[in-house]
Amino acid sequence: MKSKMHEHLLKLNNKAVSKKLKISSLKNLAYISFGLFLLTASCAQSGNKSKNQADTKVEAKTIIETPQMNIQTAILSDNLEAVEQHVKAGTDLNKKDAMSGATPLITAASFGKNKIAQILIDAGADLRSKNNDGATALHTAAFFGRIEIVQMLLDANADKSLKNNFGATARTTVMGPFDEIKPIYEMLQQQLGPLGLQIDLMEIEKTRPVIAMMLQ
């Protein structure tokens, strides 16, 4: 899959949330979408070229080898065993994707990989790390309505006040009229559905206000 995305996303204007909970711009949300396009394109191109360096870790006289499948691809393919092996082998859990800047935890949060997200959190993944657009795992989990992962992150004391490059907190991404955001979700479902992104518009519409309350 080519790493280009529709140019009109880059032209979406930025809005700020008013005291009446209205968004003055969707640009920060569009850039979350843009970052995901870069991430999935990068993983799709590198999935079969993921021979990691022969890093090993000795634990109790047992050598744990790094899986040939890179951790980002393992997450997208929901390969729990490979992710666990990466953790045991000492893979850098905060290493960012070369194109999108997403860490493994941000990828797991975006694609709703609940079990993998918990493994990464328990293993000490950096909750403050941001992708190229300044979004944390909490930003992406909130935007895509991943209530369970949002709760995991809050239980792990994720910082709710962090802002992305466009001045939006995680809570900002789930505020404002759903009808204004719906076209972005529809585009993502069409473009990234085949790569594993699951978007239930009705569910997201219901969960957005719930997540907004969770992030108060």
Ramachandran angles phi, psi of 168, nearest 5°? -100, 135
> Within a domain: residue 9?
no
**What's the pLDDT tens digit per position in 128-178?**
999 999 999 999 999 999 999 999 999 999 999 999 999 999 999 999 899
Closest CA to 148 of 118, 103, 186, 192: 118
> Within a domain: residue 45?
yes
The pLDDT value recorded for residue 75 is: 97
- pLDDT band with cut points at 50, 70 and 90 for residue 190: confident
194: CATH: 1.25.40.20
> Within a domain: residue 53?
yes
Q: Does the pLDDT value for residue 22 go beyond 80?
A: no
Alpha helix (H) residue ranges in the chain:
27-46, 71-76, 80-89, 104-110, 114-122, 137-143, 147-155, 178-192, 201-214
Q: Report how far residue 99's alpha carbon sits from residue 20's, in angstroms, rounded to the nearest whole number.
A: 36
> Within a domain: residue 153?
yes
For 105, the domain range is 23-214
> Within a domain: residue 16?
no
> Within a domain: residue 11?
no
Comparing 56 with 183, the larger pLDDT belongs to 183
> Within a domain: residue 6?
no
Q: Report how far residue 161's alpha carbon sits from residue 159's, in angstroms, rounded to the nearest whole number.
A: 6
What CA dihedral angle connects 134, 135, 138 and 143, to 10 degrees? Answer: 150
Comparing 195 with 128, the larger pLDDT belongs to 128
Q: Does the pLDDT value for residue 195 go beyond 80?
A: no
Residues present in the chain in total: 216
The pLDDT value recorded for residue 39 is: 53
> Within a domain: residue 56?
yes
How many domains does the chain contain in total? 1
Between the alpha carbon of residue 82 and those of residues 15, 17, 51, 75, 128, the distances in Å are 40, 41, 13, 8, 24
**What's the pLDDT tens digit per position in 60-102?**
446 889 999 999 999 999 999 999 999 999 999 999 999 889 9
